[in-house]
Amino acid sequence: MNDPSNLHEPVLVQTVVETMAPCFHGLVVDGTAGLGGHTEALVNAGAHRLLAIDIDPEAVQRLSERFKENPRVSVAHASYTEICATLRSHQQDHAQGVLLDLGVSSLQLNKASRGFSFQRDGPIDMRFNATGGRPAADLVNRLPEPAMADLLREFGDERRARAIARQIVRDRPHRSTMELATSIRAAFGGRTRINPATRTFQALRIATNGELQAIENGLSAASTVLSAGGRLVVIAFHSLEDRIVKNIFRTWAREGVGQILTSRPIQANVSEVRKNPRARSARLRAFEMLGEG
């Protein structure tokens, strides 16, 4: 198996470790463990026990391999929205820290057969967990044009949503990511834009995986398992995700559930972005549950 550290460069590692450090005496849950970059950094920095969760069976297989000789790390195949049941199945009912590093891993993005990338030819799949749900091709080839335009606007912030939806419907059926990307490009009528398919692919991925609903449900579930003084750290990669996290943290703070630790989201510095361009859009927010007494 390839070295996992070559397959996905984790973002904002130092900030994650420093923010989570006060939780190291208890169980820390990495709810989107992916290739295990953050998990490993947390364990190396002194976290006593770590539960690494991912919804993608391939990621889970790699995580199991990577940590098979580390008794401090357990691995589970689950959605972070099921954190309560997953803890119970590991004979736990509370966690001291929960990390969610949202979005897609480089492993998923770079593998053509997963269908996440408009730069690689593959089936239009985009499921984090290909053993359930329906592939993005169902939306691409079946959604009525107005609903497609709404989807692109809502989940992709795409200003040319109507033109793209019209073109996608006109060019059906789409059998591959490249066919779809070509169709999207045609809707831009030759006008230059770096990657015209970026927002459409993002929107389809979010809809296919129900990602925004998962964030809301996952944050709510995390708040029920965190111990007094426990911390929740969330890294978002676009404004839709970040807005949900910001609003939920603000609501919790107003309700007296605990305190926001990041008055502004923390971003990667120039040198990290130079080394890892994916870090450019990362926004980290952290929340601490009310302590005892």
Ligand X SMILES: C[S@@+](CC[C@H](N)C(=O)[O-])C[C@H]1O[C@@H](n2cnc3c(N)ncnc32)[C@H](O)[C@@H]1O
Q: Which residues here bind ligand X, judged by CB under 6 A?
A: 8, 10, 31-38, 53-56, 59, 79-81, 101, 103, 105, 128, 214
When the beta carbons of 64 and 259 are compared against ligand X, the nearer one is: 64
Provide the residue count of the chain.
293
- Nearest approach, Cβ of residue 215 and ligand X (Å): 8
State the DSSP H helix or E strand holding residue 229, giving kind and residue range, or none if neither: strand 226-236
* Sheet strands (E) in 120-253: 226-236
Distance (Å, whole) CA 104 – CA 205: 9
SS3 category, 190: coil
SS3 category, 209: helix
- Nearest approach, Cβ of residue 1 and ligand X (Å): 14
Distance (Å, whole) CA 4 – CA 146: 42
When the beta carbons of 158 and 211 are compared against ligand X, the nearer one is: 211
Residue 245 to residues 172, 176, 195, Cα–Cα distance (Å): 36, 33, 27
When the beta carbons of 23 and 149 are compared against ligand X, the nearer one is: 23
- Nearest approach, Cβ of residue 38 and ligand X (Å): 4
When the beta carbons of 53 and 124 are compared against ligand X, the nearer one is: 53
- Nearest approach, Cβ of residue 196 and ligand X (Å): 24
